[in-house]
Amino acid sequence: MPFTLSKILALLAQPSSVLVICVLAGLWLMRRDGSRLGRRLAWGGALGLLVCGLFPVGNLFILPLEQRFASVPRPAQSDRVAGIIILGGFEDGWVSAGRGGLGLNEAAERVTEALRLGLRHPEAKVVFTGGVGGLLARNTGAAEPVAAFLMDGGIAQDRLVLEGRARNTYENAVFTRDLVEPKPGERWYLVTSAYHMPRSMGLFRKAGFDVIAYPVDYRTRGAEDLMRFFERIPQGLMRLDLAVNEWLGLLAYRALGRIDELFPGP
């Protein structure tokens, strides 16, 4: 599927987008002829925004993703680790380019926990993979600010491997495999958000890169969050959009044959 088309479809398939479209379409129909369908669409969309924004609907969808690899053991101090792979998505290249330093978003644990892991295992290569993945993004890759952050944190420059072309997780897997050329028996840890780990593991496995999951950036505490309401409507809608986008990504990659299982697990 072409990159631009996939981004457009993902945008239109987000629950918040669908609900807003329903409200707007309903208002337009009501203004045109006062139809019952218009009223149903408008009120249904508005109610959906309220329910999905305040009720823990997003947690219901994201919790299974986060729990999938939650029980994978972390490496022991004595384990010899060949490499640590950090998936991009935590960095804001646009802000970094304009303000200096490294601009981070809500997924910042990807780099902070990878730094901690890298310091614990000084023999390991530290790989960052991530290019410009946004549909409207300009040439604002963040590989250099990420490298500077890691070096300031204590990672030697000769340990760093930078891959700055990948626009999505499929390209993360393929480009990283080709760059580091992993050998059988080596231990490579994949660091990414827990909700993103099933899709990531499926793609790396399909690419022939046998990585070990290192999930971070949990958005839920556990099953108790299924009863935890959101304080603001945008919070709940963002959580639901994030989870649904991940499930749709799994469906799409399975349909395209880029993963072997619909819901990859340990």
Tokens representing 43 are: 């009120």
> Residue 103 gets which letter from DSSP?
-
Higher pLDDT, 2 or 163: 163
**Tens-digit pLDDT profile for residues 156-206:** 999 999 999 999 999 999 999 999 999 999 999 999 999 999 999 999 999
Q: What are phi and psi of 99, to 5 degrees?
A: -110, -15
pLDDT of residue 133: 63
The confidence band for 93, taking pLDDT boundaries of 50, 70 and 90, is: confident
Cβ atoms within 10 A of the Cβ of 30, count? Answer: 18
User: Which range has the worst mean pLDDT, 95-104, 134-143, 172-181, 188-197?
Assistant: 134-143
Query: Distance (Å, rounded) from C-alpha 182 to C-alpha 185?
Result: 9
Check pLDDT > 80 for residue 139. Answer: no
* Mean of per-residue pLDDT scores for the chain: 93
Query: Distance (Å, rounded) from C-alpha 136 to C-alpha 4?
Result: 10
Tokens representing 113 are: 């926990």
Would the pTM of this model clear 0.75, i.e. be above it? yes
Sequence spans of domains, the chain: 3-66+225-255, 72-216
The confidence band for 3, taking pLDDT boundaries of 50, 70 and 90, is: low
**Tens-digit pLDDT profile for residues 201-259:** 999 999 999 999 999 999 999 999 999 999 999 999 999 999 999 999 999 999 999 99
The confidence band for 128, taking pLDDT boundaries of 50, 70 and 90, is: very high
Between CA 186 and CA 197, with CA 191 as vertex, the angle to 5 degrees is 105
Q: How far is Cα of residue 188 from the mean position of the Cα atoms in its chain?
A: 19
pLDDT of residue 74: 86
**The CATH fold of domain 72-216:** Rossmann fold (3.40.50)
Higher pLDDT, 181 or 2: 181
Residues 6+ apart with CB under 8 A from 255: none
**Contact in structure between 96 and 142 (CB atoms under 8 Å):** yes
